[in-house]
Amino acid sequence: MSILGHLSLDEDGAQHVSLEIKRLLPARRLDKYLQHRFSDFSRTLIQRLIAEEAVSVDGRPVKQSYQLKIGDRVDVILPPPPTNQIAPEPIPLDVLYEDDHLLALNKQADLIVHPARGNPSGTLVNGLVHYSNSLSKVNSQFRPGIVHRLDRHTTGVMVVAKTDTAHWRLAHQFEHRLVQKEYIAVVQGTMELDADVIDMPLGRHPRIREKYAARPETGKSAVTQYELQQQFRGYAVLRLKPKTGRTHQIRVHLSLIKHPIVADTIYGGKTMTLSQLANDQQLPPPEHIGCGLAPNEPVITRQALHAA
Q: pTM of this prediction?
A: 0.70
DSSP, collapsed to helix, strand or coil, labels residue 251 as helix
Outline where 38-81 has alpha helix (H): 43-51
Q: Which amino acid is at 124?
A: L
**Residue 173 half-sphere exposure, CB side, CA atoms within 13 Å?**
13
Q: Which of 146, 167, 249, 164 is nearest to 202 (CA)?
A: 249
Q: What are phi and psi of 207, to 5 degrees?
A: -120, -35
Rounded-to-integer distance, Cα 10 and Cα 8, Å: 7
Domain edges within the chain = 2-78, 95-175, 183-307
Rounded-to-integer distance, Cα 218 and Cα 195, Å: 27
Which DSSP category does 266 fall into?
G
CB contact at 8 A, 159 and 95: no
Q: How far is CA 202 from CA 26, 48, 247, 294, in A?
A: 34, 19, 9, 39
Which DSSP category does 35 fall into?
H
Rounded-to-integer distance, Cα 144 and Cα 139, Å: 7
Q: Does domain 95-175 have CATH number 3.30.2350.10?
A: yes
Residue 178 CA to its chain's centroid (Å): 21
CATH of 183-307, one of 3.30.2350.10, 3.90.25.10, 3.30.2320.50, 3.40.462.10: 3.30.2350.10
Outline where the chain has alpha helix (H): 30-37, 43-51, 124-131, 164-175, 249-256, 274-281, 286-289
Residues that are catalytic: 151
Which DSSP category does 109 fall into?
S
**Run means of pLDDT, 10 residues per run, the chain, 308 residues:** 47 75 80 83 85 90 92 87 76 97 97 80 95 88 89 96 95 91 97 98 89 94 98 94 95 98 95 69 52 70 93
Q: How far is CA 74 from CA 14, 66, 262, 263, in A?
A: 16, 11, 34, 32
Residue 77 CA to its chain's centroid (Å): 14
pLDDT of residue 138: 83
DSSP, collapsed to helix, strand or coil, labels residue 147 as coil
Topology agreement, domain 95-175 and domain 183-307: yes
Q: Which of 55, 83, 78 is nearest to 68 (CA)?
A: 55
Rounded-to-integer distance, Cα 167 and Cα 183, Å: 23
Q: Does domain 2-78 have CATH number 3.10.290.10?
A: yes
Q: How far apart are the first and last CA of the chain?
A: 51
